[in-house]
Chains A and B, each alone.
Chain A
Amino acid sequence: MGEVRFPSTSTARFGHVSGRGADGSASAFRAQKQRVVLEPGRADRTYWSDLWSYRELFLILAWRDVAVQYRQTIVGVAWAIIRPLLTMVVFTAVFGDLARLPSEGETPYAIMVMAGMLPWFLISTSLTNASNSLVMNSSLISKVYFPRLIVPVACSAVALIDFIVSSVVLIGLMIASGFAPAWQILFLPACLLLAIVAGLGTGLVFAALNVRYRDFRIIVPFLMQLGLFASPVGFSSSLIPEPFRLIYSLNPAVGVIDGFRWCLLGGQADIYWPGFLISSAVSLLLFWAGVRIFRATERTFADVI
């Protein structure tokens, strides 16, 4: 008996298989097939073109993160407004009213705090999200191929949306106190980009470390808490004594916040250019290092995660 026998559950229905999808039309767009070569180090050479060809996945993942965050619309929107609003109220009360620290020029203290709070939350949210992103998406990473850089970058889209929602608070404050920004606001997009570069760059380093050492999850929120007070969020960076200002500017958040205040507060905020340049350079350096470290460890994520 030459016939092969196999378990009945799977074979009894062989005859009923339908021909769905087995049409001839498929061959038309099959003509231009891509050729994939897999060999050690190959991914490195085609990395950036791969990244580009996966842009739709990037958009969808970014959309997913935003959609999930804002799914319960009330909670999502409220969170993006309440968090900076309450922090601003506390900071204004403590630093402005109790400690009587000076504001930037004639700016109301609340507006000055808010103009620093928005970029700070943009940095810290994109950093935190990016650093958790790989572990959160571990099931994807261990099962499907795509350039891993997509995951943390898509996460910072949520931070950007949060930023846009929170800026309603600042706009409200400005309208209420009749405060109008000047021509400097045209440079806001550049500062926005700088904030994302600073947050994402550091986030990429943490994301890679997070895969390797799980307790980084605990370290990141702690660092962000320290950063909130170490960065000039509740006060103006002009309070820092002159000899220390350059060193203080090594904190990338300093440049971003100073830049935001300069853009938003019209002529009221003087910017300390050497500090701003150093801070921006540190941000760019961190971003470059972040991408490098991420790329170097990316190949092993699927093996480790």
Chain B
Amino acid sequence: MSSVVVSAQSVGKRYTIGHRAVDRAPTLRDALVKGAGRVVRASSDILQGRAVVAGDETEDFWALKDVSFEIQAGDIVGLVGRNGAGKSTLLKILSRITDPSCGRIEIVGRVASLLEVGTGFHQELTGRENIFLNGAILGMSRAEIRGKFDEIVDFAGIDRFLDTPVKRYSNGMYVRLAFAVAAHLDPDVLIVDEVLTVGDADFQRKGLAKIQEAARAGRTVILVSHNMGVTTALCKSAIWLDGGLLRQVGPAAEVTRGYMMETTTLQGQFMSSLEGDAGRSFRVLDVQIRDAGGDVRRTFSCDESISVVIDYFVRRSVPHLRGCMEILREDDVLVMVSDSMDREHNALSALQEGHGTIRIRIPERTLSPGDYRVSLNFSGAGGLPDQDIDCPGHVAGFSLDDHLTPRGNARGGFFSSRLDWTSDCEV
């Protein structure tokens, strides 16, 4: 029995941006000053006989346009697309945070999203109190929470600290509790955004387990991931958004193949189109792969160091910002993961507001010759995925050639480090 759970008919979302988004008056004082400026300009226009065009300082931007699709009950649907393609906007509309500007969506049953993990947790309140608070925020009734309370506590494994304020919790406990509440929501439609690529392995495992479990119980899952491997493995079908338009809907394998063919042809550079995310606290504007001399290149020698250079913009400072870079081989095998918390000092933990650059240096002789793709993800405190922080995913690619060793490009394997070979016959 398959019935339609989500049906979208020519859904569109319009944001008014342009001049207003750039210098939208953040304070009343600015607004007054700007208002005065507008009056002066308008009156000088009139004096010079020019037509005063209403709304000349704004322009419309369609984050989503004419998107239609249907999702069957029990489906796992992947939502793919580049950053700024409208994925977040679609999720926001589905979870009712913002209204569509046109079109119509019908959803049968309760929608919950794992991007809300930990939303509304209050530092001063105890674990017990936060379970009720968070549950209510996610749409559970008190009776429902009471019924699942023991299960949630058990799942999170925090029973000894139930009456301790969560501000004294360790990061891990905090995440476990937050996740436990969300995991017991039993929604009809579950929206999962990026949990698979952010956070520690345990969190990833639980995220995946939750998806599989939900699917087994006949629920519908909408999964947003930049990891095409996971998308293809888990999803029956996929939706590909491109520049706010629906590019392709169909079987997951087919859609992801098309999407990957397009993204991997990007020449070392990341096409940034982040208009839809202008409100985020942390935004990734551009990512390039550069050589030691600072030139953007696509192909490198194994014997030179490579820098992944990220241009960012911080609108509001994000405490404990954490970055994670994955390097994947052409065939989607994960080769290397680097975390900004690998070193004792997390360089991202206190970024100043404004524009800046993050550099990740991959030393020479690290990876084997071949083609690689770089995936970047960022998270806030607790390693939780956060809608307020850009998670660009696959951003760039590069190739490595080995010119200096006899084995050269025929090396194979993962690494090209030169190891020391010694024998007791030498000195």
A contact set with B: CB distance below 8 Å: 4-11, 13-14, 17-23, 26-27, 30, 33-43, 56-57, 60-61, 64, 67-68, 71, 139-140, 142-146, 209, 213-216, 219, 299, 302-305
Contact = CB atoms under 8 A, between A and B. Distances in A.
B402 interface: no
Contact of A22 (B27, B155, B216): B216
A4 B119 CA distance: 35
Interface residues of B, number: 74
Nearest to B96: A145
Interface of B: 15, 25-29, 31, 92-111, 115-116, 119-120, 122, 124-125, 129, 132-133, 136-138, 141-142, 155, 183-184, 186, 188, 196, 201, 204-205, 208-209, 212-213, 216-218, 227, 229-230, 232-233, 253, 279, 326, 328, 331-334, 337, 387-388
Contact of A60 (B96, B132, B184, B217): B132
Contacts of A39: 99-100, 102-105
Nearest to B7: A37
Given A26-B217, A40-B100, A142-B387, A10 B110 contact: no
Contacts of A8: 333-334
Contacts of A215: 27-29
A35 B120 contact: no
Contact of A299 (B99, B141, B387): B99
B115 A143 contact: yes
B201 A38 contact: no
Contact of A57 (B136, B209, B216, B333): B136
Nearest to A69: B124
Contact of B230 (A10, A18, A38): A10
B99 A7 contact: no
Nearest to A6: B229
Contacts of A299: 98-99
Nearest to A42: B99
A142 B388 CA distance: 9
A35 B108 contact: yes
A34 B97 contact: no
A146 B95 CA distance: 10
A139 B105 CA distance: 25
B122 A68 contact: yes
Nearest to B217: A22
A8 B329 CA distance: 12
A13 B93 contact: no
Contacts of A302: 92, 97-98
A5 B229 contact: yes
Contact of B107 (A20, A38, A214, A219): A38
Given A22-B216, A303-B279, A143 B97 contact: yes
Nearest to B28: A213
B369 to A, nearest CB: 20
A41 B100 CA distance: 9
A144 B95 contact: yes
A144 B138 contact: yes
Nearest to B229: A6
Given A22-B213, A40-B100, A56-B141, A6 B232 contact: yes
Contact of B27 (A41, A146, A214): A214
Contacts of A30: 109, 188
22 contacts: A6-B229, A7-B229, A8-B333, A8-B334, A9-B334, A17-B212, A35-B106, A35-B108, A38-B99, A39-B99, A40-B102, A56-B142, A60-B132, A64-B122, A64-B133, A142-B387, A143-B115, A214-B26, A214-B27, A299-B98, A302-B97, A303-B15
A144 B107 contact: no
Contacts, number: 180
A22 B92 CA distance: 27
B332 A144 contact: no
Looking at chain B's contact residues, the main secondary structure is: mixed
A11 B233 contact: yes
A212 to B, nearest CB: 8
A13 B201 CA distance: 10
B110 A19 contact: no
A213 B28 CA distance: 5
Nearest to A41: B99
Contact of B96 (A4, A34, A36): A36
B333 A5 contact: yes
Contacts of A56: 136, 141-142
Contacts of B213: 17-22
* Among A6, A38, A303: residue with most chain B CB under 10 A: A38
A41 B102 CA distance: 9
Contacts of B253: 4
A4 B204 contact: no
Contacts of A33: 108-110, 188
A7 B98 contact: no
B124 A68 contact: yes
A182 to B, nearest CB: 42
A174 to B, nearest CB: 35
Contacts of B106: 35-38
A32 to B, nearest CB: 10
Nearest 5 pairs between A and B by C-beta? A6-B229, A145-B96, A7-B334, A213-B28, A215-B27
Contacts of A140: 119-120, 137
A142 B28 contact: no
Contacts of B125: 64, 67-68, 71
B28 A38 contact: no
Contacts of B186: 21, 26
Contacts of A71: 124-125
Contacts of B388: 139, 142
Contacts of A304: 279
Nearest to B111: A36
Contacts of A303: 15, 98, 279
A54 B96 CA distance: 14
A202 to B, nearest CB: 16
Given A13-B208, A22-B213, A30-B109, A6 B31 contact: no
A219 B29 CA distance: 11
A40 B12 CA distance: 10
Which residue, of A43, A140, A142, has the highest number of chain B Cβ atoms within 10 A? A142
A57 to B, nearest CB: 5
Contacts of A142: 97, 387-388
A144 B116 contact: yes
A304 B92 CA distance: 14
A237 B102 CA distance: 54
Contacts of B111: 36
A142 B387 CA distance: 8
A7 B96 contact: no
